[in-house]
Structure 1
């Protein structure tokens, strides 16, 4: 092979080699929003909404993970029902995490994403690493839902006041409705009711 041909082969080999050791500065800092965005909502309003949405996102991501922990660690006579229910609720919270993160990006912000960053932002109490009894698991989940529902309603109203009806719609139609339904399904497991003979 000629020298020119060998150089061409070497050049083409470099073209197909992954350039995986790359590094650069962030293109947008967390906590900022894009200055000029043609969506009809001013920068200050978008900034305020994104800050609040990121905290809510951290709480919902923590609730999502709490559902998976509960799914894995549940036990007792209601194991089968709760194992399936917790996993279903986990999947629904996964969808909410994605919707909220995308809404933050739509507003020109940067959504919180990594577990360590979520742990810093969340207001949910951290559960123990070990297993808990079913009533404690459910109570912990209900407390998380109560916090999220209150915050979602407050933020929906604030977003509407700021002219951000898209966020208002997302919070009411998706976050509030999903979490209310999950509260209903969970809370029924804490009602003391006879199984064989009525009182």
Structure 2
């Protein structure tokens, strides 16, 4: 993972049983997770607006449900960063530096949208999974719980999207 943004300074006086060095490492990972989640939200919302073809209604509604869920998720991740005493990244430029999810080029066909969203959902899972060694070492159960819940949602969503691509 890349280094945390230079502007991210911890709040003083936090004593939650996780030392500042471990909190900084956790926040670094959560910042990547936040960027991936927000980028996937934006991509999903974009595809909701621009999907067309014989699966239009199904995909339009499915993408809407997915971006609404992602909108709630970004708040959960950002609030965990704040609870750990750091500012949450919140600009497009910060997210662009932190995300592992590429932006779409143009307006892809419906099947390519689905394939890109599968890749995005799986990327979020990988980002979350990478965090467990530091989270476990710091005994940060709230973050571990958040990561587990996010992984469950993204794995299920990837499966549902992937099912649309099967013959």
Same fold (TM over 0.5): yes
SS in 1 for 2:11: coil
- 8 Å contact from structure 1 (residues 156, 167) kept in 2: no
2:84 aligned with 1:107: yes
Extract unaligned runs of 5+ from structure 2.
Answer: 1-5
2:44/2:67 contact within 8 Å kept: yes
Distance 1:67 1:53 in 2: 20
CA drift of 1:172 comes to 0.2
Structure 1 residues not aligned, in runs of 5+: 1-28, 193-199
- Output the CA distance in 1 between the equivalents of 2:10 and 2:73: 21
1:3-26 deviations in whole A, cap 9, x for unaligned? xxxxxxxxxxxxxxxxxxxxxxxx
Structure 2 partner of 1:90: 67
Match of 1:124 among 86, 93, 101: 101
Question: Over the residues paired in the alignment, what is the CA RMSD in angstroms?
Answer: 1.3
Contact preservation (8 Å) 1:31, 1:51: no
By relative contact order (CA 8 Å, sep 6+), the higher-ranking structure is 2
Instruction: Please give the TM-score of this superposition, normalised by the length of structure 2.
Output: 0.92
Partners of 2:8 and 2:86 within 8 A in 1: yes
| 2:154 maps to 1:144 | no
- Give, in whole Å, the separation in 2 of the partners of 1:46 and 1:36: 13
Q: What is the aligned partner in structure 1 of residue 31 from structure 2?
A: 54
Partner of 2:10: 33
Task: Report the counterpart of residue 185 of structure 1 in structure 2.
Answer: 160
Between structure 1 and structure 2, the one with the greater Rg is: 1
8 Å contact kept, 1:152–1:171 = yes
